[in-house]
């Protein structure tokens, strides 16, 4: 058999990269400032703490291969999971904790919040700045990092991805939808879960015959269901097999409640972000959508028979976004690996510049332990050099569009029609009123123009039912969630809404609570002028089609070139659907709706996590990097640029996921911890020079461009440079491959 393999090559001179915008903020947000869907307000908001993350020198449990007298190796064999209950692991864990205790005592002690053992050796503790500075010089301490907040990066995409193709679809290769992802565990580090959602029922599965196919207990699972506020052990089941929560960075339950009193001090989701990502990655197939989204029928997760374990370390904020402290996020990652997850989805912002960030380090050892990690690239596009999660052991995912669109229109009484995104049912003709003229006495003008709900406005309503009842209301976009605006209109008795932008930004077809059409800022002056005449408006039924040109890179998706390492690695790795993704959510943060459309790289990452679970199910012996390679080498160009365009490469990486081709990639580019350490030796400061010398002597290249990954990037090419790659044939038999590359001339 003769086959060809696609490798994206980037030969670019990035000597001027220091002139690119440097993104140091941890905030990822969602595709726009008003996409957040939380509906409660609070009076306190903890943005910082006195917590430091301390990394120790000894290997974490999953990386310890012996060498300390009396302590046997704890590194699991390839394809095996670490067993926290084994005597060897417990003995080594005790040794690590004793070293932690000694380091903490050396600076006078401090309140320890987390102990990290499995993927990251260290601890988090409340310290003074002086203690932290002294601790940095204590023997056995590698690094002391100040804790900080990280933010969430926020019908059916399985069909868009052809997973359900009856001949070549991955679902079919696994025995049909009733087996796709069977018994693979997806760990979701996020804002929790709404366990009552049908996406997580263990009695929702159906065989091809139509008979119920319940989930059976998973004997190898070591996780647990942690009780808490509005969350009991019975909220877990044989589909949702684990749930834990982490808020020590906020000061525990009491500190969390002081800062964010609306939140649940438990694994229960308030914001909705975590429920959305979990149901996207591994929610049940055939889940019927209720509420305003019922027009879409049913939805499915990418790996519908996967098990779900949630690790809540993000908490809903007063701006509608979810955020959490690095100290808690690292604890969640560490525990997820110990519990036995196969895949981790991490739809959370991260560093753009630091391979040795605590989260990146934890994921290094998670990947070394056999866990496939998908992470969101960030939502800071279209600005260049904004991509987060720079590390090669992570599959970093940008966001693309898909072919579904909803288009509607509104016709004013003057017979002028305006068209825009909509999922509306028809309404009207009805009187049209500008929200600025629809307020209660002494209402704030800004709150009125933005159509705040009472909860958006500190408990006080702004729209007057006497002025709004029976009317279509014109509302400005901005600040509060878009669906909250329609909630405010409905609460005041309105029958429809025209949502208009105030500046050039995205247009979105959301699941609003009253019929709504979303229009651009260029239409705003005429709409405002007509609304002042006390005229009428008629919203027509929206047309939902599946013919939009797709995929294209979403405008908000963060892109390269990579700031970390001087551009010697291509990020994002690939692109997956991330715009207007329909999935389950938590009703409290979503105007009482159980399903919602979200956009962001937060939504694209769980698509890849689900695909990782499917490939793990199909090829149990594949390493995380083999799965990543298969997804990259099989990727398709997006419609907004080919792999010969530098700008397109930095937007899409290896291209848009094509999972059916990834199931049989032919060749893969594999790598492991030693390869990553050699990469780090050349890409960043901070590694032990003796380790780098040893790797070099053992034949590992310290040039970051030589890392064995399915792309080639040279940050500063001067003259001729030879790049090496190593491939493994995973095809069914012998084959002959022809080499070619697409990329920039070099």
- Whether residues 314 and 414 share a domain: the answer is no
- Whether residues 107 and 182 share a domain: the answer is no
Residue 45: is its pLDDT beyond 80? no
Instruction: Please report whether residue 120 resides in a domain.
Output: yes
pLDDT tens for 478-496 read 888 888 899 999 999 999 9
pLDDT for 5 = 40
pLDDT tens for 467-477 read 999 999 999 99
3-class DSSP state for residue 430? strand
Instruction: Please report whether residue 163 resides in a domain.
Output: yes
- Whether residues 180 and 318 share a domain: the answer is yes
Q: How many helices (H) and strands (E) does the chain have?
A: 18, 33
Residue 452: is its pLDDT beyond 80? yes
User: What's 423's domain CATH number?
Assistant: 3.50.30.30
pLDDT tens for 385-401 read 999 999 999 999 999 98
Dihedral over alpha carbons 151, 279, 334, 78 (to 10 degrees):
-130
pLDDT for 594 = 93
Nearest to 554 by CA among 451, 402, 661, 435: 402
pLDDT for 35 = 42
Nearest to 154 by CA among 494, 479, 604: 604
CB-neighbour burial class of residue 601 (10 A; exposed 0-12, middle 13-18, buried 19+): buried
Residue 549 banded pLDDT, cuts 50, 70, 90: confident
Q: Give the integer Cα–Cα distance in Å for 613 and 181.
A: 6
Average pLDDT over residues 94-109: 96
- Whether residues 157 and 133 share a domain: the answer is no
Q: Residue 78 CA to chain centroid, in angstroms?
A: 27
Instruction: Please report whether residue 712 resides in a domain.
Output: no
* Residue ending a domain, choose from 647, 668, 689: 668
Average pLDDT over residues 410-435: 95
DSSP string covering 458-485: TT---B-HHHHTT-EEEEE-SSS-HHHH
Average pLDDT over residues 182-199: 97
* Residue ending a domain, choose from 146, 161, 189: 146
- Whether residues 393 and 445 share a domain: the answer is no
pLDDT for 641 = 72
pLDDT for 717 = 85
Residue 23: is its pLDDT beyond 90? no
Residue 132: is its pLDDT beyond 60? yes
Residue 744 banded pLDDT, cuts 50, 70, 90: low
Dihedral over alpha carbons 487, 380, 274, 576 (to 10 degrees):
110
| Number of Cβ within a 10 Å radius of residue 742 | 13
Nearest to 461 by CA among 490, 492, 494, 499: 492
pLDDT tens for 681-692 read 999 988 889 999
Using left for φ > 0, alpha for ψ between -120 and 50, and beta otherwise, residue 565 falls in left
pLDDT for 733 = 83
pLDDT for 30 = 36
| Number of Cβ within a 10 Å radius of residue 250 | 25
Annotated active-site residue in 34, 147, 153, 190: 190
Residue 301 banded pLDDT, cuts 50, 70, 90: very high
pLDDT for 648 = 86
- Whether residues 199 and 316 share a domain: the answer is yes
What φ, ψ does residue 469 adopt, rounded to 5°? -55, 130
Among 122-136, 535-549, 638-652, the least confident range: 638-652
**For tokens 């890849």, what's the residue?**
608
User: What's 645's domain CATH number?
Assistant: 3.40.50.200
pLDDT for 101 = 96
* Residue ending a domain, choose from 668, 699, 727: 668
Instruction: Please report whether residue 697 resides in a domain.
Output: no
Instruction: Please report whether residue 517 resides in a domain.
Output: yes
Residue 43: is its pLDDT beyond 50? no
Of all residues in the chain, the percent with pLDDT exceeding 90 is: 70
User: What's 129's domain CATH number?
Assistant: 3.30.70.80
Q: Could you give the number of structural domains in the chain?
A: 3
pLDDT tens for 242-280 read 999 999 999 999 999 999 999 999 999 999 999 999 999
Instruction: Please report whether residue 683 resides in a domain.
Output: no
Is 305 within 8 Å of 185 (Cβ atoms)?
A: no
What φ, ψ does residue 123 adopt, rounded to 5°? -160, 165
Among 159-163, 348-352, 675-679, the least confident range: 159-163
- Whether residues 266 and 197 share a domain: the answer is yes
Is 432 within 8 Å of 536 (Cβ atoms)?
A: yes
Contacting residues for 589 by C-beta, under 8 A, at least 6 apart: 37, 38, 39, 40, 269, 270, 271, 272, 316, 320
Contacting residues for 105 by C-beta, under 8 A, at least 6 apart: none
| Number of Cβ within a 10 Å radius of residue 19 | 8
Q: Give the integer Cα–Cα distance in Å for 397 and 425.
A: 35
Task: Output DSSP code: residue 293.
Answer: G
Q: Write the secondary structure of 528-579 as one string of H (helix), E (strand) and C (coil).
A: HHHHCCCCEEEECCCEEECCCCCCCECCCCCCCCCCHHHHCCCCCCEEEECC
Annotated catalytic, 602? Answer: yes
Q: What are the helix (H) ranges across 184-312?
A: 252-259, 273-282
Contacting residues for 637 by C-beta, under 8 A, at least 6 apart: 643, 648, 652, 655, 656
Task: Output DSSP code: residue 491.
Answer: H
> Residue 629 belongs to what H/E stretch?
helix 624-633
Instruction: Please report whether residue 481 resides in a domain.
Output: yes
pLDDT tens for 592-603 read 889 999 989 999
pLDDT for 206 = 59
pLDDT for 367 = 98
Residue 208 banded pLDDT, cuts 50, 70, 90: low
pLDDT for 587 = 93
- Whether residues 222 and 361 share a domain: the answer is yes
- Whether residues 170 and 220 share a domain: the answer is yes
pLDDT for 14 = 26
Annotated catalytic, 190? Answer: yes
- Whether residues 95 and 14 share a domain: the answer is no
Residue 37: is its pLDDT beyond 90? no
Query: What angle is formed at CA 176 by the lines to CA 175 and CA 182, rounded to 5 degrees?
Result: 70
- Whether residues 212 and 233 share a domain: the answer is yes
pLDDT mean across residues, the chain? 89
pLDDT tens for 400-422 read 988 888 899 999 999 999 999 99
pLDDT for 258 = 95
**94 lies in which domain range?**
51-146
Nearest to 55 by CA among 100, 13, 17: 100
Residue 104 banded pLDDT, cuts 50, 70, 90: very high
Dihedral over alpha carbons 472, 478, 484, 487 (to 10 degrees):
-10
Instruction: Please report whether residue 97 resides in a domain.
Output: yes
* Both structure tokens of 249: 């960075």
Residue 377: is its pLDDT beyond 50? yes
How far apart, in Å, do the first and last CA atoms of the chain sit? 31
pLDDT for 317 = 86
**For tokens 């790996």, what's the residue?**
303
Beta bridge partners of 150: 324
pLDDT for 212 = 61
Average pLDDT over residues 448-471: 93
Beta bridge partners of 439: 463
pLDDT for 46 = 56
pLDDT tens for 309-338 read 999 999 998 777 899 999 999 999 999 999
Using left for φ > 0, alpha for ψ between -120 and 50, and beta otherwise, residue 130 falls in alpha
pLDDT for 292 = 80
- Whether residues 291 and 174 share a domain: the answer is yes
Predicted TM-score (pTM) of this structure: 0.87
Among 13-17, 78-82, 216-220, 664-668, the least confident range: 13-17
Among 18-32, 401-415, 575-589, the least confident range: 18-32
Q: Give the integer Cα–Cα distance in Å for 166 and 484.
A: 41
Annotated active-site residue in 599, 602, 604, 705: 602
**For tokens 């690996």, what's the residue?**
337
Residue 164: is its pLDDT beyond 60? yes
> Residue 412 belongs to what H/E stretch?
strand 405-412
Q: Give the integer Cα–Cα distance in Å for 120 and 644.
A: 39
Average pLDDT over residues 158-175: 85
Of all residues in the chain, the percent with pLDDT exceeding 70 is: 91
Kindly list the distances between the CA atom of residue 247 and the CA atoms of 27, 132, 298, 602, 644, in Å, as whole numbers in the listed order.
Answer: 18, 21, 35, 21, 46
């Amino acid at each position: 058999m003769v086959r060809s393999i696609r490798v994206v090559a980037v030969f670019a001179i990035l000597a001027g990269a220091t002139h690119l915008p440097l993104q140091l903020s941890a905030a990822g947000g969602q595709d726009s400032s008003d996409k957040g869907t939380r509906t409660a307000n609070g009076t306190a908001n903890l943005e910082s703490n006195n917590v430091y993350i301390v990394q120790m020198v000894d290997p974490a449990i999953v990386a310890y291969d012996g060498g300390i007298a009396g302590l046997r190796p704890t590194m699991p064999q390839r394809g095996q999971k670490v067993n926290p209950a084994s005597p060897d692991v417990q003995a080594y864990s005790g040794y690590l904790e004793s070293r932690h205790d000694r380091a903490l005592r050396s600076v006078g002690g401090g309140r320890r919040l987390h102990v990290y053992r499995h993927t990251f050796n260290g601890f988090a503790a409340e310290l003074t700045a002086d203690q932290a500075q002294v601790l940095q010089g204590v023997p056995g301490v590698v690094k002391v990092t100040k804790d900080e907040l990280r933010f969430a990066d926020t019908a059916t995409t399985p069909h868009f991805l052809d997973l359900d193709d009856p001949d070549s679809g991955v679902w079919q290769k696994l025995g049909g939808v009733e087996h796709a992802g069977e018994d693979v565990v997806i760990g979701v580090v996020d804002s929790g879960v709404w366990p009552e959602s049908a996406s997580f029922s263990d009695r929702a599965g159906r065989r091809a015959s139509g008979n119920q196919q319940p989930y059976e207990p998973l004997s190898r699972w070591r996780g647990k269901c942690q009780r808490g506020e509005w969350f009991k052990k019975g909220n877990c089941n044989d589909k949702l097999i684990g749930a834990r929560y982490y808020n020590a960075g906020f000061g525990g339950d009491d500190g969390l409640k002081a800062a964010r009193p609306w939140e649940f001090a438990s694994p229960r989701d308030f914001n909705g972000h975590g429920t959305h990502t979990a149901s996207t990655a591994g929610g049940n197939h055939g889940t019927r959508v209720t509420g305003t989204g019922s027009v879409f029928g049913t939805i499915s997760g990418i790996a519908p028979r996967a098990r779900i374990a949630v690790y809540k370390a993000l908490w809903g904020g007063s701006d509608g976004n979810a955020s959490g402290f690095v100290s808690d996020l690292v604890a969640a990652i560490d525990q997820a690996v110990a519990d036995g997850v196969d895949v981790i989805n991490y739809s959370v912002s991260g560093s753009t510049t630091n391979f040795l960030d605590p989260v990146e380090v934890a994921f290094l050892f998670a990947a070394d332990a056999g866990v496939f990690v998908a992470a969101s690239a960030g939502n800071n596009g279209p600005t260049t050099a904004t991509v987060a999660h720079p590390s090669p052991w992570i599959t970093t995912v940008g966001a693309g569009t898909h072919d579904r669109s909803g288009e509607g229109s509104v016709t004013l009484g003057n017979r002028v029609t305006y068209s825009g995104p909509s999922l509306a049912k028809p309404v009207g003709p009805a009187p049209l009123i500008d929200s600025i003229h629809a307020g209660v006495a002494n209402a704030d003008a800004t709150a009125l123009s933005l159509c705040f709900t009472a909860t958006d406005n500190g408990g006080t309503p702004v729209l007057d039912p006497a002025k709004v009842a029976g009317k279509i209301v014109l509302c400005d976009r901005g600040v509060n969630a878009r669906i909250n605006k329609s909630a405010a209109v409905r609460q005041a008795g309105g029958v429809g809404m025209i949502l208009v932008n105030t500046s050039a930004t995205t247009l979105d077809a959301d699941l609003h609570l009253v019929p709504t059409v979303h229009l651009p800022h260029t239409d705003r002056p005429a709409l405002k002028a007509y609304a002042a005449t006390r005229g009428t408006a008629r919203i027509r039924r929206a047309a939902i089609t599946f013919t939009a040109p797709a995929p294209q890179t979403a405008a908000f998706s963060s892109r390269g070139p990579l700031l970390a390492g001087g551009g010697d690695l291509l990020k994002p790795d690939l692109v997956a659907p991330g715009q207007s993704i329909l999935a389950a959510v938590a009703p409290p943060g979503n105007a009482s709706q159980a399903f919602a459309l979200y956009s962001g790289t937060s939504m694209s990452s769980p698509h890849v996590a689900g695909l990782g679970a499917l490939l793990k199910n199909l090829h149990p012996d594949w390493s995380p990097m083999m799965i990543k390679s298969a997804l990259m080498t099989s990727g398709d160009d997006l419609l907004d640029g080919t792999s010969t365009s530098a700008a397109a490469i930095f937007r899409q990486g290896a291209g848009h996921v094509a999972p059916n081709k990834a199931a049989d990639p032919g060749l893969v580019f594999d790598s492991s911890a030693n390869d990553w350490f050699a990469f780090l030796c050349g890409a960043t400061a901070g590694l032990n020079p003796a380790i780098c010398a040893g790797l070099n002597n053992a034949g590992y290249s310290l040039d970051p461009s030589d890392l064995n990954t399915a792309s080639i990037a040279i940050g500063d090419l001067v003259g001729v440079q030879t790049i090496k790659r190593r491939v493994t044939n995973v095809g069914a038999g012998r084959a002959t491959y022809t080499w070619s590359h697409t990329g920039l001339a070099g």
